[in-house]
Structure 1
Amino acid sequence: MRIAVIGGGPGGLYFSYLWKKRHPDAEIDLFEQNPAGATWGFGVVFSKQALEFLRADDPDTVEAIAPLMESWNNITLNLRDESVEIDGVGFSSIGRLELLKILQQRAASAGVAPRYETMISSLDQLTGYDLIVGADGLNSFMRRSFEGDFGTSLSYSANKFAWYGTTKRFETLSQTFVQTELGAFNAHHYRYSPEMSTFLVECDLSTWNRYGFADKTLEQSNAICERVFAVTLGGHQLVSNKSVWRNFPWIWNERWSFRNMVLIGDALHSAHFSIGSGTRLAIEDAIALTKALESEGEIAAALQRYEQERKPVVKKLVSAAQTSAAWYEKFPDHMQLGLMDFAYSYVTRSGRIDDARLRAMSPAFMARYEASRRSLRQSGSTA
């Protein structure tokens, strides 16, 4: 079988590696428009069990990635010069470029030779392939070429965000909420190497307009964000890498394949950065597609199986991501709550965590939260 893969991100690289490793005689060509060392953004974050789904099938890749990851067990929320830690919510992170390098090495070890700096501008360039895998991200050329056939829907979150880095080291994944004279900001920040952290700045549209960001240069935007988060950054600067303001795009496709073409990763679906699952979803898509192709004798049947088995899983997570994103679109309102009520609202925002699970997962936080509620009730009865 001849396979073409469009896109050299985590999903495209991992599918190419996995298929070639399991089928050494297969012909698989990966096309990536950028150079091998190019990437945007900074670190990517995974939940505590992020790589465990790989261990059963591919422990070698886990062992290659794990030593380069930064890990922690708590989330820290900062609001009005107060902080609270939510225990038991573990995460790990790694630089996006470091992750790509590891997956590039894995692909090369299996015999995949990616064609970097190769733009696919017409699918006529891919005639003769039995299967074409679209792993070309949010702006997927393949998806856009057949959006009606894939049943594509596209919408955008109302909030604006810019993805920065910084040399400030943060001990946990943290969220800092700041109220200014012109509006509210939120920063998602976490270390992804001993020397670097991701620092994603978010605000609602009204705040963005009041600051006039639409007319600001990248340097001016950076300077404003540094002033807003001066205390959090502690004298460190923000580092830009295509750190333009954008709205998060919601991408969904009702049909995951068309003819001999199939989508994976961000080309197929997007999950809001507030739940940190985009890279994991892309890799899991690659695994699911591989297994479906191996289980069926015909490509058409395999693609149907891939969608039938994988779609319900992805849909559930995307739904949780949408609920989480809706919370962030109202975060200036949530900031009016007391610290513990704010933290409880935050940690339960996706609808996947109830009180019983929270007591088991985060006993220290839940004890502090319930104590604060009892104190408020007692104060009310005394009054």
Structure 2
Amino acid sequence: MKISVIGGGPGGLYFSILAKKMMPDAVIDVYERNKADDAFGFGVVFSDETLSEFLTRDPRSYELIRSRFAYWDDLDVARNGQKVRITGNGFCGCSRKTLLNLLQQRCQEENVGLHFEHNVTDLSKFHDSDVIVACDGINSAIRDNLSADFGTKIELQRNKFVWLGSTRPLDAFTYWFRTTPYGTFVAHSYQYEKGMSTWIFECSPETWEKAGFETENEETTVEKITSIFAEELDGHKLITNRSHWRQFPAITNEKWHKNNIVLLGDAKATAHYSIGSGTKLAMECAIALADSIAANQQNISAAFELYDKKRRQRVEMIQHAATVSLDWFEHMDRHAQHPFMQFAFGVMTRAKKVTYENLALRDKSFTDKVRTEFLKNQNITNSDIPAAFTPFSLRGMTLQNRIAMAPMEQYSAKNGVVSNWHLVHYGSRAVSGCGLIFTEAVAVSDSARITSGCPMISSEEQLNAWKEITNFVHQNSRAKIAIQLGHAGRRANSAFPWENPKTTNQVPLVSASPIRYDENSTVPKELDDSEMEKIISDFANAAKNADKAGFDMIELQAHHGFLLASFLSPLTNKRSDEYGGPVENRLKFPLKIFAAIHDNFPNEKPISVRISASDWSEGGIVEVDVIAIAQAFKNAGADIISVSTGFTVSEQNLATGRMWQTPFSDAVRNSVNIPTITAGGITDIDQINTILLNGRADIVALGRPFLLDPGFVRSAQAYESVTPDDIPDQYFAGISHLYPLKKSERREKEAMKKALKPESHKKQNK
């Protein structure tokens, strides 16, 4: 087999080493455009986990790398002179030039051909190659020439960054944040060999422009950055190496191969440097590619398919984590307002891969500091209480904890009247310790219902049925209960989830504009002024009845493509009158609805508004509009914003995952300075504590976890060894079973995490 590798970076070299070891008879040649000792950038980073993989695959290259790297267990977060150290992180730094030279040495030891100063743009000279590995970097000529076949997508990210070196010694990977009159800067820094460290400086484009930087003026860049980070550099100089300001290119490819050509490294996929996975990604993919080809030497197409199968999901997961991490850095100014320990915790948990419990296993002293600061700012003296079980107040309502049950349709009302099913559904979660119960969407009129099984609160019978539920909640628990008032708009007439989508009871549909929701729905009528006034009146009456029924709070439904959401999104609001166009106009009708509720609900009771912060569809709502919407509702008197996303249109591309909507809640909370509720992909108490402690929300709502686990909160309390005083007498004996069980489960879980932690590769002093 003849394999031609175009590009002599870490990925291409490591692939060649492994492939040659597994296929000794193969002829493998590497063609690199630069000289053997050229290297751009300064250091590269590997985790203990990655080093363990290198050890198992090629012990010789592992030992070569290990003999030359700088290792650290510690990570520092510093901001304007304050600093905290987090131990137990396990990383190593190595000079990129050294890494390349060591891998070149291994290639020569395995008889891989190395050809330098070969800039390959034409593949015709490789017509006799069985495999061509295109790993020629971010600016891959091979990929660009075949971009239509690969489905290449390159998106430049917002932030500006520049890669520099310094003689400043460092004993820990350090994030240095510095607040300036221009905005916030960060330096990602680590030592990669004695006397040399990498410093990547990053800021928003607005900050960069205000500071007067120039893209290719290295002299001005060094002068200005040295001035900004004088304290951090401690008299040491900055070193340039083609150090021009850039924007990070996020690269994806729908296909990784065409005929006998396969992509590897940055040519295939990039991951933002803030999670330290660029070189790791290339070398781990090199392992998978070598394995796949070795296992399918007679069928290269099958080899490439196996390579894709082995790595596609993992690569996309790393890229997603990198995108979430980058988003945090793109909004540094927003996070800089946080107290220092919360800020540092936010840095550590920004990509959602690391949680409070993960960090506590690494460095409990750090997580104790984070929790202590949080509790102090809440005026709570009990330093052992987890964040989830701290009280939270809105107007005259105080929640016993910050865990809420999200609105979930039950489709069980008869003629809009709730039944014993609802009494048990809401009552069981209340007596099981939930801090706040949200009802399913309660329609303000018959035509406003999502389905024929959705409840209302218009008639005396409907009101009294709800009152029976609120009475039970208040008499048998400390939970508070909120009613979500809404109008389904063009999403009315929906079938029950277990029915054929077309079997619906037809009522006339209305919306902001005459655009149907999906192929199974009819075209709605565009609301006129008189119809709007009728709906405003319906909401006002519903608010009055909500108070009479004993609800502690109202939430206004303005999300997921329902009526008010259809006014807020540019995808569904195409009006040319005063209610369409710019976001200020799109807000007018929803704000009138809010005013009607506000005027007809007691001042001591809070009001929430649930909005969609993303439509997950091209041309949908943008962050600046979301911030304007949240600010407008705050100005109108909203006490808290529940931040959801999606379902505005049926043609959407959701990017879900654990805690997937928290960045949107973060944006609203920390831009508008209003409390928020978050939900979505949240499954355990560790995630809840993490969200609260890093300042992304004030209340965490769970939906599906509560459906089959009404006692979720009690289990979480037992897991955290929190013994509440609101357990009903009838259930109190259960403590003797649940608490030892959860204590044992937690002990086993922590032991497993410790056992699975990668072995440290730190060189021991002899």
Same fold (TM over 0.5): yes
- The 5 A counterparts of 1:67-78 are 67-78=67-78
Distance 2:160 2:232 in 1: 20
Deviations 1:121-156 (A, max 9, x none): 212222111110011111111110101111111101
Contact 1:87-1:364 within 8 A present in 2 as well? no
Distance 1:14 1:215 in 2: 33
- The 5 A counterparts of 1:77-156 are 77-156=77-156
Matching residue's letter, 1:345: G
Contact 1:89-1:362 within 8 A present in 2 as well? no
The secondary structure found in structure 1 opposite 2:50 is: coil
Distance 2:192 2:258 in 1: 38
Deviations 1:154-184 (A, max 9, x none): 1011000000000010110001111112222
Are residue 15 (structure 1) and residue 15 (structure 2) matched? yes
Deviations 1:14-44 (A, max 9, x none): 1112222222221112110100000100011
Alpha-carbon spacing, 1:283–1:4, altered in 2? closer, same or farther (3 Å): same
Deviations 1:214-268 (A, max 9, x none): 3772111111011111100111110000100000110011111011100111110
The secondary structure found in structure 2 opposite 1:24 is: coil
The secondary structure found in structure 2 opposite 1:49 is: helix
Alpha-carbon spacing, 1:83–1:61, altered in 2? closer, same or farther (3 Å): same
Unaligned ranges ≥5, structure 1:
none
Contact 1:166-1:197 within 8 A present in 2 as well? yes
Distance 1:76 1:324 in 2: 17
2:24 alignment partner in structure 1? 24
1:64 alignment partner in structure 2? 64
Are residue 303 (structure 1) and residue 304 (structure 2) matched? yes
User: TM-score, normalising length from structure 1?
Assistant: 0.97
The secondary structure found in structure 1 opposite 2:303 is: helix
- 1:379 deviation in Å? 6.3
- 1:85 deviation in Å? 1.2
The secondary structure found in structure 2 opposite 1:269 is: coil
2:264 alignment partner in structure 1? 264
The secondary structure found in structure 1 opposite 2:139 is: coil
Contact 1:87-1:363 within 8 A present in 2 as well? no
Contact 2:169-2:191 within 8 A present in 1 as well? yes
Contact 2:19-2:294 within 8 A present in 1 as well? no
Q: After TM superposition, which residue ranges in structure 1, 4 or more long, deviate above 3 angstroms?
A: none
Contact 2:321-2:351 within 8 A present in 1 as well? yes
The secondary structure found in structure 1 opposite 2:285 is: helix
Distance 1:121 1:322 in 2: 31
Are residue 36 (structure 1) and residue 7 (structure 2) matched? no
Distance 1:215 1:253 in 2: 28
Alpha-carbon spacing, 1:342–1:241, altered in 2? closer, same or farther (3 Å): same
Matching residue's letter, 2:3: I
Matching residue's letter, 1:183: G
2:367 alignment partner in structure 1? 366
1:191 alignment partner in structure 2? 191
Contact 2:165-2:198 within 8 A present in 1 as well? yes
- The 5 A counterparts of 1:200-279 are 200-214=200-214, 217-279=217-279
Task: Report the identity percentage.
Answer: 38
Contact 2:43-2:198 within 8 A present in 1 as well? yes
2:171 alignment partner in structure 1? 171
- 1:113 deviation in Å? 2.3
Contact 1:173-1:190 within 8 A present in 2 as well? yes
Whose strand proportion is higher, 1 or 2?
Answer: 1
Matching residue's letter, 1:39: A
Matching residue's letter, 1:315: E
Contact 1:288-1:310 within 8 A present in 2 as well? yes
Deviations 1:88-116 (A, max 9, x none): 22211000000001000000000112110
1:293 alignment partner in structure 2? 293
The structure with higher relative contact order (CA 8 Å, sep 6+) is 1
Deviations 1:348-378 (A, max 9, x none): 1101122222222331211111121222222
Choose 1 or 2 for highest CA Rg: 2
1:323 alignment partner in structure 2? 324
Contact 1:135-1:265 within 8 A present in 2 as well? yes
Distance 1:253 1:240 in 2: 32
Distance 1:54 1:215 in 2: 37
1:314 alignment partner in structure 2? 315
1:354 alignment partner in structure 2? 355
- 1:329 deviation in Å? 0.2
Contact 2:166-2:237 within 8 A present in 1 as well? yes
Are residue 378 (structure 1) and residue 365 (structure 2) matched? no
Contact 1:29-1:113 within 8 A present in 2 as well? yes
Matching residue's letter, 1:352: K
Q: Relative to structure 2, which stretch is displaced further, 334-343 or 348-357? A: 348-357
RMSD of the alignment, in Å? 1.4
Contact 2:2-2:131 within 8 A present in 1 as well? yes
- 1:62 deviation in Å? 0.9
Contact 1:74-1:89 within 8 A present in 2 as well? yes
Contact 2:46-2:280 within 8 A present in 1 as well? yes
Contact 1:272-1:322 within 8 A present in 2 as well? yes
Unaligned ranges ≥5, structure 2:
382-390, 392-766
